């Protein structure tokens, strides 16, 4: 669709080594670029590739027939996404900002896993780690208050993308809201509340750069 591609068969199968430290088998690798907002793949589409974010950020989500959206995960630099055991994608994936991904053909991966137990174990480990994330997120969505959700979100992102003391969020308030099962206003209010309590501060006026001033206090909100 908007697949603003930029085919660049890479020569080093570095991707594999990320995928759970695998063998050095040769696999067709390419890099693609997606523009902000572009769809990488759609829910229920056959899964032809597995992806790794090189730079940028991806959201993967499900939609209800009336447009309600639930984001299941954000994928940041280094993350692998689009891995499906059955051959069908169960989320739609979109670039949040301009994003570069590396990709491998799913079938060739399955092929390799067939004879290489290390690769097979890597696939299992990745699936299990996605499962753990989903399980924790169920608890958040089912039982946590808005403040607790936002605090948990900040703590999660802090680990994943704070550099030089500041966390630069690629996603909008709406994205955060759809990840946390809230509205964007509620997210905004929770962030303001945390700012008011001196737990965090904003940098620049775009409000996407956050400095965590009091991590221990923030952690108290995340039960």
- Residues found near DNA in the complex (CB under 7 A): 145-147, 172-174, 181-189, 191-192, 202, 205-208
Choose one: 12-20, 98-106, 114-122, 210-218; the region binding a copy of itself (CB under 8 A): 114-122
Q: Minimum distance between the CB of residue 144 and DNA, rounded to whole angstroms?
A: 7
Say if residues 191 and 200 touch (Cβ distance below 8 Å).
Answer: yes
Q: Shortest gap between Cβ of 93 and DNA (angstroms)?
A: 17
Structure tokens at 157: 């992102």
Tokens in use for 101? 């991904």
- Sign of the CA dihedral running 184, 210, 164, 152: negative
Binding at 30: pick from DNA, a copy of itself, none (beta carbon under 5-8 Å per type): none
Considering the rule CB under 8 A, would residue 91 count as an interface residue with a copy of itself? yes
CB closer to a copy of itself out of 32 and 51: 51
Q: Report the nearest approach of DNA to the CB of residue 183 (Å).
A: 4
Phi and psi at residue 174, to the nearest 5°? -65, -45
**Residue number, 3 or 138, with CB nearest to a copy of itself:** 138
CA distances from 129 to 93, 123, 126, 175, 195 (A): 19, 10, 5, 22, 32
CB of 149 to DNA, least distance (A): 8
Binding flag, residue 120, a copy of itself (CB under 8 A): yes
Taking CB under 8 A as the rule, which mask of x and - marks residues 57-76 in contact with a copy of itself? -----x-xxx-xxx-x----
| Closest approach of a copy of itself to the CB of residue 180, in Å | 8
Strand partners, 63: 69
Binding interface with a copy of itself (CB under 8 A): 62, 64-66, 68-70, 72, 84-86, 90-91, 114-115, 117, 120-121, 123-125, 127-128, 130-132, 134-135, 137-139, 141-144, 178, 180-181, 223
């Amino acid at each position: 669709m908007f697949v603003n591609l930029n085919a660049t068969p890479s020569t080093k199968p570095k991707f594999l080594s990320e995928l759970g430290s695998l063998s050095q088998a040769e696999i067709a690798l390419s890099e693609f670029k997606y523009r902000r907002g572009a769809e990488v793949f759609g829910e229920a589409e056959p899964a032809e590739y597995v992806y790794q974010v090189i730079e940028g950020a991806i959201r993967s989500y499900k939609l209800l027939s009336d447009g309600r959206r639930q984001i299941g995960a954000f994928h940041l630099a280094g993350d692998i996404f689009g891995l499906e055991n059955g051959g069908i994608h169960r989320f739609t994936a979109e670039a949040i900002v301009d994003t570069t991904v590396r990709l491998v053909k799913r079938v060739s991966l399955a092929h390799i896993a067939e004879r290489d137990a290390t690769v097979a174990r890597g696939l299992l480990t990745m699936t299990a780690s996605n499962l753990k994330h989903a399980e924790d997120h169920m608890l958040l969505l089912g039982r946590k208050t808005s403040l607790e959700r936002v605090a948990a979100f900040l703590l999660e992102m802090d680990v994943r993308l704070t550099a030089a003391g500041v966390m630069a969020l690629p996603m909008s308030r709406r994205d955060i809201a759809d990840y946390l099962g809230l509205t964007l206003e509620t997210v905004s209010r929770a962030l303001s509340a945390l700012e008011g309590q001196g737990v965090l501060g904003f940098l620049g006026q775009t409000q996407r750069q956050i400095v965590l001033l009091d991590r221990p206090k923030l952690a108290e909100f995340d039960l």
